[in-house]
Each structure stands twice: as structure tokens, then as C-alpha cells.
């Protein structure tokens, strides 16, 4: 079994693959300032009953966690651990994009999307932040956008507006909110859906007809509301990590 690990700002998502088939997806909170030994113990508890493991592939947008989790994965799997970074040959040309601060999760998403769909592509990853990654017809990464994620937007509203309460995301029951909580929740979710639709339309004016790929935990709230064709790939980052690990397998 191969492990793929996506370290985000909120969670550490761990998936196991048996061949091409994802066997499970489990999560740990990302806000743990612990060393490799503690992470290894947490991973062993999380993965109880799974294995054996042939190795792991890891991407991270939290530098402080990258090293400890990678070391823990080496202990837990006893195999090769690929940490996707600037020097990893991904096969994705960056063109004119300044890749110095490019999140590797966006690169991994594009690798997975290109392995499945013909470009041009627009990849929306809806997590703590919503990222858009654009790949042109020649398979070159052209850049994209970074927007505040749904939960982050709601948290900012409740923190900065005295009369707005904390709100937990859940699917909308209608279009027009009938109380403050629903107004905030509907605004975040329908606003995100409108952003995806509007941005995709503008991208098509520049790049021509494209495939819109949607992923990320918050994408599940937005997907049912979209009025444009999209491909739903909830495990896109993990599929890309598996792809990169296999490409570098000895």
C-alpha cells in the first residue's frame, strides 16, 4: 500500500492506495507542534489496521510540519518518502510564472488533472483558501488566483462585524436566507459558486473551451449549485501525489 499525505493549513489528510484504488482517507489536525516521534505515534494510531506500506508521497503548504511529518512517514512505512518540492521533476512547465512561492499542492493538483483530462484546464481547490490553477492548451502552468476559503470568509465576518455570529458550514436549504446565520452561510456558498462560474467564463474568453476540475473539502458544498459542467475529483491532490511517486519509482 502507498500512502499519500497532503499537509494543509487545517488538516493533514492521509490516503492509502492499493494499486490505482484509494482504500481510505483519514485526517489529523494540522495545528500540532510536535516532533517526528510524536507524529509517528499519531500516524500509527491513525493507520491502525492498514498496511503494510511500500512508501509515501507528501506535499505541504505548512513548512514547519513538512520535515517532522516526512521523518515520521519514513519510520511508519520503512520505505521511500517523496516530499514534493521545488526540485521535484513534476513534468509541469511553469512558463513565466514565478515559482519561488508557488504552493506545491497546486502543482500536484495540475499533475493529477493533466493525467486525466486534456488541457486547457481550470483547477479549483476549495480548502482553507480557494486556489485556482490554470493550465493552457500546451500543458503549461499559467498561474491563477487565490481567494479566501468559505470557512475563512465566514470567520472573518463574525470576527470583524459586531452583530454577526460564528457560523458553521452546511448545505443551503434554499436561495434566500431568512435569518442572519442563513444569510451568511448562503452568501459564502452561493458567492463561491458564482465566483467559479464567473471566473470560468472569463477564462474561456482567453483560453478557449476548458475543463473545470473541482476539488477540496468545501467543494462539496459548492458543486451542487454550479450551472456549468465541472469534473468533481475529491482526491485530486492524492491522485497527483501517487502519480509523482510512481514516476520516480526505481
Active site amino acids: 105
Torsion angle of the four alpha carbons 201, 206, 207, 208, in this order, in degrees rounded to the nearest 10: 60
48: which residues sit within 8 A by CB, 6+ positions away? none
Cα Rg of the chain (Å, integer)? 19
Q: How distant, in Å, are the alpha carbons of 65, 78, 115, 150 from that of 75? A: 16, 5, 30, 36
Task: Provide, for the chain, the percentages of residues in helix, strand and coil under a 3-state DSSP scheme, each rounded to the nearest 5.
Answer: 40, 25, 35
CA 204, 210, 215, 220 torsion: positive or negative?
positive
Chain centroid to Cα 130, Å, comes to 9
Instruction: Check residue 86 and report its DSSP letter.
Output: T
Residue 114 φ then ψ, to 5°: -65, -30
Amino acid at each position: 500500500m502507498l500512502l499519500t499525505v497532503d499537509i494543509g493549513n487545517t488538516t493533514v489528510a492521509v490516503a492509502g492506495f492499493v494499486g490505482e484504488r484509494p482504500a481510505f482517507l483519514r485526517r489529523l489536525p494540522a495545528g500540532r507542534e510536535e516532533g517526528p516521534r510524536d507524529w509517528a505515534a499519531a500516524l500509527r494510531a491513525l493507520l491502525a489496521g492498514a498496511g503494510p506500506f511500500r512508501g509515501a508521497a507528501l506535499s505541504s503548504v505548512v513548512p514547519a510540519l513538512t520535515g517532522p511529518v516526512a521523518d515520521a512517514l519514513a519510520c511508519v512505512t520503512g520505505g521511500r518518502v517523496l516530499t514534493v518540492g521545488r526540485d521535484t521533476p513534476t513534468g509541469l512547465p511553469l512558463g513565466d510564472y514565478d515559482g519561488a512561492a508557488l504552493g506545491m499542492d497546486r502543482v500536484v493538483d495540475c499533475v493529477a488533472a493533466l493525467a486525466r483530462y486534456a488541457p486547457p484546464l481550470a483547477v479549483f481547490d476549495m480548502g482553507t483558501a480557494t486556489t485556482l490553477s490554470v493550465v493552457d492548451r500546451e500543458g503549461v502552468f499559467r498561474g491563477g488566483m487565490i481567494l479566501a476559503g468559505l470557512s475563512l470568509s465566514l470567520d472573518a465576518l463574525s470576527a470583524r462585524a459586531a452583530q454577526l455570529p460564528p457560523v458553521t458550514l452546511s448545505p443551503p436549504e434554499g436561495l434566500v436566507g431568512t435569518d442572519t446565520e442563513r444569510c451568511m452561510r448562503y452568501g459564502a456558498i452561493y458567492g463561491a459558486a458564482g465566483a467559479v462560474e464567473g471566473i470560468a467564463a472569463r477564462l474561456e474568453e482567453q483560453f478557449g473551451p476548458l475543463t473545470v476540475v473541482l476539488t477540496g473539502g468545501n467543494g462539496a458544498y459548492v458543486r451542487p449549485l454550479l450551472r456549468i459542467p465541472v469534473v468533481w475529483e475529491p482526491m485530486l491532490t492524492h491522485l497527483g501525489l501517487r502519480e509523482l511517486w510512481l514516476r520516480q519509482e526505481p
